[in-house]
């Protein structure tokens, strides 16, 4: 059963990743970062807020934003109220890349997971995931270091 779980989740993950990388030239993680930014007011978030929402370590986010800045998808801006702080802003180009990427990505998710499962199974899976998340003290929560 555990092996079954591993095989299934790895397959889904890698297929999602492959599709997005091939069709849009970005890893899933960058896509998720851009989604978080796109939902924020002014498409702007503090780095640490963005890290918490995406459940990334600060380091990981910093590297990722550096790479995305290089692609022109994101910009950094200084925070006036806290001189240590930095904002990440989704650029117009980044928003465009997100909009282009979304349909294929959503379709892939749908085809791998939702089309395969019955409505009942989707509901069950949802509750299972919620249970699993609640059971463990989330190590990437507010107290996350790195």
Partner DNA sequence: TCCTTAATGTTGAGCGTTCAACTATCACTG
Partner DNA sequence: CAGTGATAGTTGAACGCTCAACATTAAGGA
Residues binding its own copies (CB under 8 A): 1-2, 4-13, 15, 32, 55, 109, 112-113, 115-117, 121-122, 124-136, 138-140
Closest approach of DNA to the CB of residue 18, in Å: 5
Q: Which is nearer to its own copies, 19 or 91 (CB)?
A: 19
Q: Which is nearer to its own copies, 1 or 83 (CB)?
A: 1
CA 2 to chain centre: 25
For 1-146, where are the alpha helices, taking DSSP H only? 2-24, 28-39, 47-54, 58-71, 92-109, 119-135
User: Residue 63 is encoded by which pair of tokens?
Assistant: 């590297």
Report the C-alpha dihedral over residues 19, 23, 27, 33, rounded to 10 degrees: -110
61's contact among its own copies, DNA, none, with CB below 5 to 8 A by partner kind, is DNA
41's contact among its own copies, DNA, none, with CB below 5 to 8 A by partner kind, is none
30's contact among DNA, its own copies, none, with CB below 5 to 8 A by partner kind, is DNA
DSSP characters for 87-106? EEEE-HHHHHHHHHHHHHHH
């Amino acid at each position: 059963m555990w092996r079954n779980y591993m095989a299934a989740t790895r397959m889904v993950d890698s297929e999602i990743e492959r599709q997005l990388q091939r069709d849009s030239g970005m890893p899933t993680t960058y896509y998720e970062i851009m989604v978080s930014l796109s939902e924020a007011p002014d498409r702007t978030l503090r780095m640490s807020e963005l890290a918490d929402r995406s459940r990334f370590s600060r380091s990981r986010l910093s590297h990722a934003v550096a790479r995305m800045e290089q692609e022109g998808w994101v910009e950094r801006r200084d925070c006036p109220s806290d001189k240590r702080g930095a904002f990440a802003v989704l650029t117009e180009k980044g928003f465009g890349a997100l909009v282009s990427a979304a349909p294929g990505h959503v379709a892939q998710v749908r085809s791998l997971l939702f089309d395969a499962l019955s409505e009942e199974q989707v509901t069950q899976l949802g509750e299972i995931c919620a249970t699993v998340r609640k059971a463990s003290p989330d190590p990437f929560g507010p107290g996350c270091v790195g």
